[in-house]
Amino acid sequence: MANRTAPFSAFEWMIAWRYIRARRAEGGVSVMTWISLVGITLAVFALIATLSVRAGFREEFIDTILGANAHVTVYQDSVIEGTDITRQVIEGYADLSQRLGQIEGVSRAAPVVRGQVMLNAGNENAGIEIYGIAAGDLASLPRIADPATGMGDIARFDEGIALGSGAARELGVAIGDKVRVISPNGARTPMGQSPRVSAYEVTYIFTAGRYDIDRTRAYLPLSEAQLFFNRDGVVDEIEVMVEDPDNVQELLPEILDVAGPTAFLWTWRDSAGAFLRALTVEDNVMFVILSILVLIASMNIISGLIMLVKNKGRDIGILRTMGLTEGSVLRVFFICGAGIGTIGTLAGVILGCAFAIWIDPIFAAVNYVSGGGVWDPSIRGIYALPAKLELGDVISAVALSLTLSWVITLFPARRAARMNPVEALRYE
């Protein structure tokens, strides 16, 4: 019995390489090879670039939520003494905050007063949500108390008001300027309820990284907010920050037990859950759509290989009469198709990773060429297009591309292997 050659022997690679680089004049399909290669490259690049942008957007969105908002908000219903009327305020908030802060896994608990007001500076007005909070608790919010993005001195917070950069820009104020805070719920008089107005110096301007926060939020010292909103001795809520926000659900039973039977909780997942679910659905849909693009690009490999098999029919017949087995012929054409898919995939990975790594200068160049205004933070909520390169996304893209290109290659390769050498040489 004749000795069988080992699969993927050197001569199989040599024949496959000769066929791939053969010009059309030599019976090759170099143009189709380049089209297939470019198609796979662009499809994989688009897949990795899209997945990295989606991952970066999700991380940026969650980071701004966790860095500027409570992980768990505690509310309580209190009954006004001598009546059946309830109001949503927390009495004895200092003791409750201390007990909540002692729960294992809780990093801090801060009493907060909240209210909707209008800010005025000169002829400019802006609707703002005021957060009354202690200076130490404000300093513990990473996105608010970030010295790299904030302006002014947060240590002087007790002397005035901390304003979001978007609101400060809309009002046209800077550090040291004064703004008037106007609330319609003021003192009751025989003529009706008069608005309450107070003036505060802007001592600190923060940039949380989300346009909706920077445009609509301001902070007042807790005692000043209690006085302004008629919250003497009470607060509206207690903001609880936990060490591991992803596992916040595990701490809810203990927090609720400490907060009491009249309390109810609202987590960051409750407030952003619908948006996060929408992002997840969008991620899955985008992956499916871009997978179809990879499949379409892989189909070019079939076209190229079918043309190659047709052009190399005489060569296949000669090789078969010389003793080349069906398996060797199949492997030769499989190497041709799989090689194109593999090289295209690697090129696409390089381009996709480069896009994710250097997205800022790339986006700046696009913005410059287009004349600016490509990214509107008031619509998208964040100030720049983020990207995060994750190993899982790259592996998914590579696995998808290689699987499709390799499997699709088998069909024309099998057709070449089963070609009858007598028929192939009959008309030569």
Q: Where do the domains of the chain lie?
A: 10-64+276-425, 72-244
**In this predicted structure, what is the pLDDT of residue 205?**
94
Question: How far apart, in whole angstroms, are the C-alpha atoms of residue 64 and residue 352?
Answer: 26
In single-letter form, the type of residue at position 417 comes to A
Q: How many whole angstroms separate alpha carbon 193 and alpha carbon 215?
A: 28
pLDDT at site 160? 92
Q: What is the pLDDT of residue 2?
A: 47
Give Cβ neighbours of residue 379 (< 8 Å, ≥ 6 apart): none
Give the torsion sign (CA, 354, 358, 364, 365).
Answer: negative
pLDDT at 261: 86
C-alpha of 328 from chain center: 47
d(CA 24, CA 33): 11
Note the pTM of the prediction, 2 decimals. Answer: 0.71
Model confidence pLDDT, tens digit, residues 95-136: 999 999 999 999 999 999 999 999 999 889 999 999 999 999
Q: Which pLDDT value is given to residue 80? A: 61
What pLDDT is stored for residue 83 in this prediction? 56
pLDDT in the model for residue 316: 67
What is the distance between the alpha carbons of residues 54 and 359, in angstroms, rounded to a whole number? Answer: 13
pLDDT lower than 70: segments of the chain: 1-6, 8, 11, 21-30, 79-86, 186-193, 308-323, 326, 372-384, 417, 419-428
